[in-house]
Chain A
Amino acid sequence: MTVPLSIDVRDVTVTYPNGNVALRDATLQLGPGTICALVGVNGSGKSTLFKTIMGFLRPGKGAVQINGRPVREAQRDNLVAYVPQGEEVDWTFPVSVWDVVMMGRYGYMNFLRIARAEDRRVAAESLARVGMEEFRDRQIGELSGGQRKRVFLARALAQRARVILLDEPFTGVDVQTEAAIIDLLRELRAAGNIMLVSTHNLGSVPEFCDHVALVNRTVLAYGPIDEVFTEENLSRAFGGVLRHFRFDESTIQKHDERAVTLLTDDERPLVFGKGGHLEYSRRQGREKIVEERAEKEDDR
């Protein structure tokens, strides 16, 4: 943990084989101890940027470096881990939770991938860290959404990676797991790692990220949340796609004369009008509260 980490994406242009440009002149630099949100609409090039940082796509122009070295070399040192979206995984695959976590150790094993005591120890420890020890012999399809996500996080931990890319980590996940994932990310940040999180969920970005990168066919802006995650920048990133509400008063909290503005893309908010307040509608586990409030509203 002595080397200061960095991700350095410089002037990257990626074209699809059919000639369409997915990303043009994208630049993004991140230093150690960072949780950076990657924000943009579907088709904005978010996942292309992800894949380019992972080395799956080769940029037509520009370069990606991790710790000042090409991605390929960084990967050989197990520096980079990837936590896929739930939809990308074939959950019927005949592997157990333990098998998946062990896959995080392959980079440390010999040619035949035979596990040593050390590998088993690290895997067990990683599984414990996400609270999944008791599920180690379950087939992965038999887990809930939150548990599935934890298993893949445990794999990233077992890999001892220092740069972790998470693709939509909160979709299909319960509130406890969401909180647990955020805690874990904070711990990893404290240890000096870099986390890059692709997300739709604009509301949660300030909750757990310290940096943000806005993507729309290029990286429009990146930097600390307070500087970059502004109304103006978000409007630029989302264009007309974003839903935009303004409220002149709020009952959540007494606030100084300023208006409340709500920005959202496809996480559609439930907004209570006069004298009401704002609430996410799609957060699982909170539907009840929302419903109760709505009932009270009706009674009134």
Chain B
Amino acid sequence: MIDALLTPLQYEYMVKAILVSGLIGGVCAFLSCFITLRGWSLMGDALSHAVVPGVAVAYIAGLPFAAGAFLTGLLAALGMGFVKAKTALREDAVIGVVFTSFFALGLVLISLYPSSVDLRTIVLGNILGISDADIWQIAIVSAVTLTVLGLKWRDLLLFCFDPNQARALGLNVRALHFTLLTLLAATAVAALQTVGACLVVAVLVTPGATAYLLTDRFGHMIAIATTMGTGTSLVGAYASYYFDGSTGGCIVTLQTAIFVLAFIFAPKHGLLAARARREAAV
């Protein structure tokens, strides 16, 4: 029995995948607390799709994928900011137009150079086949993200909660905005490898949303989200051994299940607690 459960761990590629997934899951979950509070959930989705042409070009040109992806991610964010500032269009519509355009560009590039990139790797992730070079890139991205978050989390929290107050205190709000956007793009790039473009938004949103249901303290929220993100990523990556390599699917399904449990049973903000309060009120 135990032997059977340990089978996946006998393969080096599985151990690597599990560890890398856990790292990325933790970093994304940390960031997800800021993203959900700032209301940037769809920005995460948008950036994860917008990095695709960068990845394609990087692979075609033989450059580090993270650099290309990061660049197009930021380009997309700037594009959204520009169109939003210049038109009366709603923000969500602008996000939709820009990220789908970038994704389409990526799709066309990949279809023109089918041999250098595998589309499915980008869209669905392929952590089980990750190369050592890619692991290095992810490790660097994670380290930088964690360092920045660790040093500036108070400023970023204030920025997410009340940008005007942050400005009044003399903080550079533009710089904070840009920092958060950059971190988002960077983690989206890292998460692309584990869960793929379609599911990046989940690891950048679900842990934060779950923790938000469970606590009212930001410190606790970060702790819960990070634990949950790391835990589900480790277990999900392990489980994907039995699910034909659908690592992203396993991780995100687990996360969603935990979110649903929190939604129903959370002590203060859960469905059952609210129902009890409602009945007590009438």
Contact = CB atoms under 8 A, between A and B. Distances in A.
Direct chain A–B contact by Cβ atoms under 8 Å: yes
A15 B281 CA distance: 8
Contacts of B269: 18
A15 B88 contact: no
A282 to B, nearest CB: 23
B157 to A, nearest CB: 24
Interface string A20-61: 110000000000000000000000000000000000000011
A92 interface: yes
A275 interface: no
Interface residues of A, number: 10
Tell me which of A17, A19, A20, A60 has the highest count of chain B C-beta atoms within 10 A of its own C-beta.
A19
Contacts of A199: none
A17 B280 CA distance: 13
A18 B282 contact: no
B217 interface: no
Given A13-B282, A60-B282, A19 B274 contact: yes
Given A13-B282, A60-B282, A19 B88 contact: no
Interface residues of B, number: 11
B177 interface: no
B268 to A, nearest CB: 10
Interface in B230-282: 269, 273-278, 280-282
A15 B277 CA distance: 10
B88 A60 contact: no
Contact of A15 (B273, B276, B282): B282
Contacts of B282: 13, 15, 60-61
Interface in B100-124: none
Contacts of B281: 13, 15, 19-21, 60
Nearest to A90: B90
A18 B88 contact: no
Nearest to A24: B281
Contact of A60 (B273, B275, B276, B278): B278
Tell me which of A15, A20, A61, A92 has the highest count of chain B C-beta atoms within 10 A of its own C-beta.
A15
A3 B55 CA distance: 72
Contacts of A13: 281-282
A61 B273 CA distance: 20
Nearest to B276: A19
A36 B173 CA distance: 46
Nearest to B280: A19
A246 to B, nearest CB: 36
Nearest to A22: B281
A17 B278 contact: yes
A116 B276 CA distance: 52
A18 B277 CA distance: 8
Nearest to B275: A19
B88 A92 contact: yes
Interface string A107-127: 000000000000000000000
A18 B88 CA distance: 34
Given A20-B281, A61-B282, 20 more contacts: A13-B281, A13-B282, A15-B278, A15-B281, A17-B278, A18-B269, A18-B274, A18-B277, A19-B274, A19-B275, A19-B276, A19-B278, A19-B280, A19-B281, A20-B277, A21-B281, A60-B278, A60-B281, A60-B282, A92-B88
22 contacts: A13-B281, A13-B282, A15-B278, A15-B281, A15-B282, A17-B274, A17-B278, A18-B269, A18-B274, A18-B277, A19-B273, A19-B274, A19-B275, A19-B277, A19-B278, A19-B280, A20-B277, A20-B281, A60-B278, A60-B281, A60-B282, A61-B282
Interface of B: 88, 269, 273-278, 280-282
Of all A-B residue pairs in the complex, the 10 with the closest CB atoms, nearest first, are: A19-B277, A92-B88, A19-B278, A60-B282, A19-B274, A21-B281, A18-B274, A15-B281, A15-B278, A61-B282
